[in-house]
Copies of this chain bind each other. A is one copy, B any other.
Amino acid sequence: MKPLDALQQSLHKRVLVELRGGRSFRGLLDAFDQHLNLVLSSAEEVVNDVVTPHPGLTLLRGDSVVYISP
């Protein structure tokens, strides 16, 4: 198994994505590519315990991703 195969198993499931700079997202993983660019739907952004909903599709740039977890 390669790392991106593990991400394939999370497709269309809820994930937690930690970004650099103390920002994280929760949402359904709708798409990803080999750069770890991610698309989340029904996403919520959390910064310093403040939650911001993001309706529609949110594209996270792979460069900012620290980890992706169920």
**Among all A-B residue pairs, the 4 with the closest Cβ atoms:** A56-B70, A3-B37, A58-B69, A6-B39
Chain B residues with Cβ below 8 Å from A69 are 43, 54, 56-59
The answer to whether residues A61 and B70 also contact, given A3-B39, A6-B31, A38-B3 and a CB cut-off of 8 A, is no
- Min CB distance A54 to B, Å, is 5
A1-17 interface with B by 8 A CB criterion: 1-7, 9-10
A66 touches which of B30, B57, B64, B67 (Cβ 8 Å) = B64
Tell whether, in the assembled complex, residue B61 and residue A19 are in contact, meaning their CB atoms are under 8 Å apart: no
The answer to whether residues A66 and B70 also contact, given A3-B33, A6-B31, A37-B3 and a CB cut-off of 8 A, is no
